[in-house]
Chains A and B, each alone.
Chain A
Amino acid sequence: NAGVTQTPKFQVLKTGQSMTLQCAQDMNHNSMYWYRQDPGMGLRLIYYSASEGTTDKGEVPNGYNVSRLNKREFSLRLESAAPSQTSVYFCASSAVVNTEAFFGQGTRLTVV
């Protein structure tokens, strides 16, 4: 049982480049989330999808876009990367919103 799978695990981007982080879950969960984690700060919600076909902004959505491709997959796109987006990104899923969430292994992104 893979749970939540994120790709890639590591990425280095130049300022202004774009990229998409991929996330897939195999637990038939309705809700999916993207968080970023920075040193000394808690996980902060970027975007979430309460159910297939819906997406909503979280606490720090600026500079990001998301797509809920289907029930399994939820991608995060950086259109024009900035150094402030250097962080560790986590995808998570839960059966419904605000229940026990399962996290992926994270993507460590560096923007230079």
Chain B
Amino acid sequence: EDQVTQSPEALRLQEGESSSLNCSYTVSGLRGLFWYRQDPGKGPEFLFTLYSAGEEKEKERLKATLTKKESFLHITAPKPEDSATYLCAGFSGGYNKLIFGAGTRLAVHP
């Protein structure tokens, strides 16, 4: 069964303390992987799409990377405004749907 698993479920960081979020997937024939940010009470907001192993994308303090089995979202020197739930989702060319992970709740404290 195709699955996307995110770890940890929750992460607490001090402001400036860099860390990484993990997204492992068992999606057969993965065609792409998305990262989204979701603030409480709001819909997910698109961050990145990664299509092939070795690909990296950056946006401000965030960098997403993709290997053949997992993706990482690296957060460098986070600020309190980076606090949110981060979702990853994979899709296969075999069907028209995204498979979402349950998310990682990130809290960055001053």
- Complex CA gap A43/B43 in Å reads 11
Stretch from A64-72, A73-81, A102-110 at the B interface = A102-110
- Complex CA gap A74/B46 in Å reads 21
Determine whether the beta carbon of A98 is less than 8 Å from that of B46.
no
- Complex CA gap A59/B100 in Å reads 11
Determine whether the beta carbon of B41 is less than 8 Å from that of A106.
yes
Contact with B98, one of A56, A98, A105 (Cβ below 8 angstroms) = A98
Give every chain A residue within 8 A of B44 (Cβ-Cβ).
Answer: 43, 90, 103
- Complex CA gap A92/B32 in Å reads 18
Counting chain B residues whose Cβ lies within 8 A of the other chain, the interface size class is 20 to 34
Q: How many residues does chain A have at the interface if contact means C-beta atoms less than 8 Å apart?
A: 24
Determine whether the beta carbon of A101 is less than 8 Å from that of B99.
no
Determine whether the beta carbon of A43 is less than 8 Å from that of B91.
no
Known contacts A59-B97, A98-B31; is-contact A104 B43 (Cβ 8 Å): yes
B42: CB under 8 A from chain A?
A: yes
- Give B70-110 as 1s and 0s: 1 = Cβ < 8 Å from A's Cβ atoms: 00000000000000000101010000111111110000000
Tell me how far the C-beta of A52 lies from the nearest C-beta in chain B, rounded to whole angstroms.
15
Determine whether the beta carbon of A41 is less than 8 Å from that of B102.
yes
- Complex CA gap A48/B42 in Å reads 20
- Complex CA gap A42/B87 in Å reads 8
Known contacts A41-B102, A42-B4, A43-B89; is-contact A90 B43 (Cβ 8 Å): yes
* Chain B residue at minimal CB-CB distance from A42: B100
- Complex CA gap A11/B89 in Å reads 28
- Give B22-61 as 1s and 0s: 1 = Cβ < 8 Å from A's Cβ atoms: 0000000001101000000111111001000000000000
A21: CB under 8 A from chain B?
A: no
* Chain A residue at minimal CB-CB distance from B101: A42
11 contacts between A and B (CB under 8 A): A4-B43, A42-B87, A43-B89, A43-B100, A50-B96, A92-B43, A100-B34, A101-B98, A103-B44, A103-B45, A104-B43
State the B residues within 8 Å of A (CB): 4, 31-32, 34, 41-46, 49, 87, 89, 91, 96-103
